[in-house]
Amino acid sequence: MSKSCVLAYSGGLDTSVLLGWLGEQGYSVHAVYVDLGQPCEDRQAILDKAEKIGAETARIVDVQNELCRDFAFPILQFQAKYEGIYLLGTSIARPIIAKVCLQVAREVGANAFAHGATGKGNDQCRFQLAAEALEPNIEVIAPWRDATFRKTFPGRSEMIEYCEKNNIPVKATLKKPYSSDENCLHISYEAGILEKLDVNGIESVEFGMCVTPQQAPDKSETVSITFQSGIPVAVNGEKDNAVGIVKKLNVVGGRNGIGLIDMVENRFVGMKSRGVYESPGMTILYDAHRYVEQLTFDRDLMHLRDRLSPEVAEMVYYGFWYTPKMDALFAFIKEAQKPVSGEVVLKLYKGNISVQNRSSEGSLYDEGIATMEGGGAYNQSDATGFLRIQGLPYRVQSKIRPRKY
């Protein structure tokens, strides 16, 4: 039986080496560049490079809008952030990459799916869990878990040398050996000099979307975002599709230094790792979405969602996307977000976001009830009975078990 595989090909250091190595192992390799809106890459050059290295076929599959609409926006609706900080830009992209590669594998008759994720990281989990959930009979090839491969390429230095020897152009160099992963949601940076915690990550990285807050203008900029049922539909009054909105806000946020983070996180495999991330557009959307929710979202429903949010972030980060639990959670959030419609105007200034104003036809905020002025629609005397009922169990308990004070 002939050996044929689909390779999730980014054109970067790892997958360029893998493409050559898989061919040396006797595989007919179909390179698939899943276009996620990577902002810093020449797509035609990537295809040409794949064919030069020896790919049987090389193709680009554009799923930018699907990534934003069907993957990123539901996670936005959950306000999900891994460990309270990370907006999951890489994590969200992995299940759609796996899905596209398996679709191509089915088309070309390939019986294996190869990826360049290391045996130390999270991506191997995300790719494999997604692949096995969608196609249980697929063979998953992860060369970094192969001892022979690791003996040949024990580190990034040897991979860079391999590319130089074989005239394969890659971004990474021995002088600046950190890795980046790019899509329209964010860019992540890790490895190399970023593994040293005494290195300032924000100052050491050449960002692809953002300026640093220090480089941002000394003047604030306002931007308005409109939501319908928890989905952003317009920026500054102009309607657009999902990816169009994200890209517009990447530009606006990027020039104002929005969405840069430097964190040490807990990987699924158990180790701690350090990552630097830039997510200008999604950072703006998270803030804007929360402000519209504050007007329109029922209190108890919001608090339930907020309790579920860390669970969703963890599932996405670990790779449990195509699961019954996630299906149920997506059904929940779609229903819960129906009233979350309105517009918010944000002010951006040197990495900071503040709210200028917010409005919604479905707003639950009633100034007549909330006012601290005299009169209004709220009778303060009603609070006496409310609090007596709330305090009843504690009055009973304090008689039986008095507290020292």
Q: Which of these is catalytic: 4, 28, 179, 363?
A: 179
**CA-wise closest residue to 186 among 64, 280, 288:** 280
Cα 309 to the chain's mean position, in Å?
14
179 is catalytic: yes
300 is catalytic: no
94 is catalytic: yes
How far is Cα 106 from Cα 95, in angstroms, rounded to an integer?
Answer: 17
In contact, 81 and 71? CB cutoff 8 Å = no
The half-sphere exposure of 67 on its side-chain side, counting CA atoms within 13 A, is 31
Q: Which of these is catalytic: 14, 35, 262, 287?
A: 14
How far is Cα 66 from Cα 205, in angstroms, rounded to an integer?
Answer: 29
Q: Which of these is catalytic: 123, 181, 262, 287?
A: 123
How far is Cα 46 from Cα 213, in angstroms, rounded to an integer?
Answer: 32
274 is catalytic: no
Q: Which of these is catalytic: 35, 59, 91, 94?
A: 94
Catalytic amino acids? 14, 94, 123, 179
